[in-house]
Amino acid sequence: MTTDHRDAGPAAHTGSATPSGAPGKACGADGAGRDAARRHGSAAGGAGDGAEPPRLSTRDRSWVEGFAEHLVHERNRSAETLRAYVADLEGLVRDVVAHERPGIVDGAGPDVLGALDLKDLRGWLGRLSAAGRSRSTLARKTATVRVFYAWAVREGLVEVDPSLRLSSPRRSGSLPDALSAEQAARLLDRAQEPVAPGRHPESPTEDPAPGGRTREEVRRRAVALRDAAILELLYATGLRVSELAGLDRADVDHERRTLRVTGKGGKQRTVPFGLPAATAVERWLDQGRRHLLAGPTDALFLGVRGGRLGVRQVREMVNAALAGLGDTSASGPHVLRHTAATHLLDGGADLRSVQELLGHSSLQTTQLYTHVSIERLREGYRRAHPRA
């Protein structure tokens, strides 16, 4: 495919996002959006709509980079949100090109994003729905194009916003399954089990480390201590996985047993945690962290290479721990967030306190957990009451 550097002509359809001839405004002066789009967007292939690399014209790329710069500097969006937005736009372009939209020639037209209309956007969402994408995914992608085109209109890049009449699929009111109290206790107990002593079978010639263990065994135990602390904190606090991965050592107040958490939009909140989580974190810091540390870093949790532990590694670890229970299909760190909220409400916590703990901007989001608790109450009532 060759990149066409010509200026965009009028859009092909009535009501389309007609280019206004002001492409230069899309690129910020300091290039932060350009760097952000390349760093966060193109690296997020899994968040798009296929494995092919995005086929963006020069102008489309400049628009996406300008939009990313806007998200970074003016809306203070997280790296994870930025990756999702950029990948959604790249996926939209790929979809339009793949379905040979009239007026878009081989994906190298002067401006794909500026030539789309409401029908194109509806067709894109319809194909995603037919492919089995969830309502929450479709709702997020709808939000992406709405935010993008609202920005493009303000910047003078398009005259008409094609997403104005684009309806958003209603998000499902259901939540992933929460673990029972017994399952949660078993999960955390299993995580606290010490690594079995003995030489690692794949490294019998390792130089001995303190305590008679090989260096590999010391690192394995350090990872086990780290994972136990992570599971305890996720259940104790209901943190999002991105919030946990972003914690620094200075964010932990050991005396008060609280965390300083930076949530969505850079908003900070203070979250308490209990003695079991405090003990697990202290064991990790005292006995494990130094064995993974590769250089100066403030990160609370480290990966095996010594740098800050990534979100993906946390997800993989939690999934493996949940699979080890053997009696639940639940997966992902969000299960522990849902479990923490549900158990708090089951135990009598008020809704506002849980909202603040979880960092929800809307009480309506927190109220979803009350439905889970009520259903559990009904189930227990039906089992126990003679006239249920």
Q: Please answer whether residues 301 and 230 qualify as being in contact, where contact means their C-beta atoms are separated by less than 8 angstroms.
A: yes
What residue spans define the domains of the chain? 23-154, 184-326
Q: What is the token pair recorded at 138?
A: 């479709």
Query: How many CB atoms sit inside 10 A of residue 183's CB?
Result: 18
Record the pTM: 0.53
Contact 153, 19 (CB under 8 A): no
**Residue 73: count of CB within 10 angstroms of its CB:** 14
pLDDT at 100: 61
Does the annotation count 352 as an active-site position? no
> What strand order describes the sheet that includes 258-262?
252-253, 258-262, 268-272
CB 190 within 8 A of CB 318: no
Least Cα distance to 83 among 300, 365, 312, 261 occurs for 312
| 264 is a catalytic site residue | yes
**Per-residue pLDDT, 152:** 92
Q: Are 114 and 17 in contact (CB under 8 A)?
A: yes
CATH number of 184-326: 1.10.443.10
Dihedral sign (CA 357, 362, 367, 368) = negative
Distance CA 278, CA 99 (A): 54
How many CA atoms lie within 13 Å of 50's alpha carbon, on the beta-carbon side? 17
141 counts as catalytic: no
- Select which of 360, 371, 376, 381 is catalytic: 360
pLDDT of residue 195: 41
pLDDT value of position 277 = 94
**DSSP, residue by residue, 111-161:** -SGGG--HHHHHHHHHHHHHTT--HHHHHHHHHHHHHHHHHHHHTTSBSS-
**Residue tagged active-site, from 85, 149, 235, 369:** 369
d(CA 121, CA 218): 54
Residue type, 175: L
- Whether the CB-CB separation of 64 and 86 falls below 8 Å is answered with yes
Candidate list 337, 352, 371, 382, residue with the active-site label: 337
| Distance in angstroms (rounded) separating the CA atoms of residues 356 and 55 | 42
Among 133, 171, 334, 376, which one carries the catalytic annotation?
334
pLDDT averaged over consecutive 10-residue blocks of the chain (388 residues)? 35 41 40 50 39 66 90 76 88 81 52 85 88 82 90 91 80 65 91 53 39 78 94 92 93 94 84 93 94 92 93 90 81 84 80 78 62 57 60
Residue 162, classed as helix, strand or coil, is coil
Q: Give the pLDDT of residue 324.
A: 85
Tokens of 53: 């690399």
How far is the C-alpha of 14 from the C-alpha of 162, rounded, in Å? 10
3-state secondary structure at position 300: coil
pLDDT score for 196? 39
The per-residue pLDDT for range 2-52, each reduced to its tens digit, is 333 333 333 333 344 544 444 434 444 344 445 555 544 443 333 344 444
- Active-site residue, from 264, 269, 283, 315: 264
Of residues 195, 196, 217, the one with CA closest to residue 206: 217
Of 240, 291, 338, 343, which residue is the catalytic one? 240
Closest listed residue to residue 161, CA positions, set 151, 175, 170: 151
